[in-house]
Amino acid sequence: MSNNEFKVTPWEVKGEVDYDELLKQFGVEPLNDKLLERLRGHAGSLHVLLRRKVFYAHREIGDWMDSYEKGVKAVLYTGRGPSGYTHLGHLIPWILTKYLQDAFGSDLYFQITDDEKYLVDQELTMEDIHRYTKDNILDIIAVGFDPRKTRVFTDLTYTKEQYNIAVRVAKHVTFSTARATFGFTDSSNIGIIFFPAIQAVPCFLPQVLEKRDAHVLIPCAIDQEPYWRIARDVAPKLGYRKPAGIYSKFIPGLGAGGKMSASMPETCIFLSDKPEEAVKKVKNAFTGGQPTIKEQREKGGNPDVCVIYSYLYSLFDEDDRSVAETYRACKAGERMCGECKNQLADKVAAFLKEHQRRREAAKKRVDEFLLKE
């Protein structure tokens, strides 16, 4: 590790993440302009999360588009660990997944790892997990996936088909590889040591269920990459295609430093927050501003460390000219933090209102999405 110590595993993100360094550590590629142009060609336009490089890395997404163009079935796979209520950070990969589903007309397999969260989190009871699972499914449906093309399933209820594939995967993964990949220790429980085989299953599930060739692309946050390393190693041994991936950075919390985390509720926008509550959190957020208005006018602010600016940039201000102007005016001392906070607060409030309306409507539609045994 360099002197800037950081650590990213599927269960822990520590320190300030150096995303370029992480590309090297994980051996994945940056998303280059050529690939982005190809995506634009298929989708008609480039999603703001791609334009602003929130999704910044990939593995073989070009091959996945080749498959699509050649008529191989192109499928999407993403997931959620139901360890709590959903927040804005969780939604980022789902929003991109919906865009990709629309662009490529893809089937989507959505795995809910109720087993993983039960095994990893010492505090959570099975009842907690079931409650979060039910709750999280509503947020997933609210994103707007196509019910005819989307299969949502949980590991503890859609088990038989998954287990049959998981044992085949597990046979080819040694403990030494799993330990090196995930950092298991002697005190890791044996459930979590097996679990990576379960998370690999949906990479191959479309091929198994439909008995035909299919190429899976996984949109997710970059911390999930170690799982796909295992899945990709095993794929050829089982006669399956390796999954491709498209990976995002983490969305920061509203405080100074760190990713958005449910364990710090005051710096976290939950999808169930009342719009007024979320507005309050935005107004209390960490900015790149100076301590006084006078100093801000003289010295200018620092958008590069500002959480408010990063939200506008990453997702909430899609207009390239407007966001560039915000950056310039902030640095020049012409724009005060209050203006950015108001702009973001309005956007977040509107976003939550719409999401919560769709979430309410989702309650009647769960059966259209759930894959059962």
Q: Which residues bind ligand TRP (CB under 6 A)?
A: 10, 77-81, 111, 113, 116, 199, 218, 220, 224
- Residue 217 vs 282, nearer CB to ligand TRP: 217
Beta bridge partners of 246: 58, 219
Tell me the closest approach of the beta carbon of residue 139 to ligand TRP, in angstroms. Answer: 13
User: Do 256 and 286 form a contact (C-beta atoms < 8 A)?
Assistant: yes
Tell me the closest approach of the beta carbon of residue 27 to ligand TRP, in angstroms. Answer: 18
User: Do 248 and 54 form a contact (C-beta atoms < 8 A)?
Assistant: yes
- Residue 151 vs 341, nearer CB to ligand TRP: 151
Kindly state the DSSP code that residue 122 receives in the 8-state scheme: S
Q: Rounded to 5 degrees, what are φ and ψ at 24?
A: -70, -45
Tell me the closest approach of the beta carbon of residue 218 to ligand TRP, in angstroms. Answer: 5
Tell me the closest approach of the beta carbon of residue 216 to ligand TRP, in angstroms. Answer: 10
- Residue 225 vs 317, nearer CB to ligand TRP: 225
Which helix (DSSP H) or strand (DSSP E) does residue 58 occupy? Answer: strand 55-59
Residue 75's closest CA among 41, 123, 107, 34?
107
Residues 6+ apart with CB under 8 A from 66: none
Which helix (DSSP H) or strand (DSSP E) does residue 23 occupy? Answer: helix 19-26
Tell me the closest approach of the beta carbon of residue 121 to ligand TRP, in angstroms. Answer: 10
- Residue 81 vs 288, nearer CB to ligand TRP: 81
Nearest 5°: the CA angle 331, 294, 287 is 50
- Residue 199 vs 207, nearer CB to ligand TRP: 199
- Residue 77 vs 270, nearer CB to ligand TRP: 77
Tell me the closest approach of the beta carbon of residue 195 to ligand TRP, in angstroms. Answer: 9
Residue 218's closest CA among 242, 235, 195?
242
User: Do 369 and 141 form a contact (C-beta atoms < 8 A)?
Assistant: yes
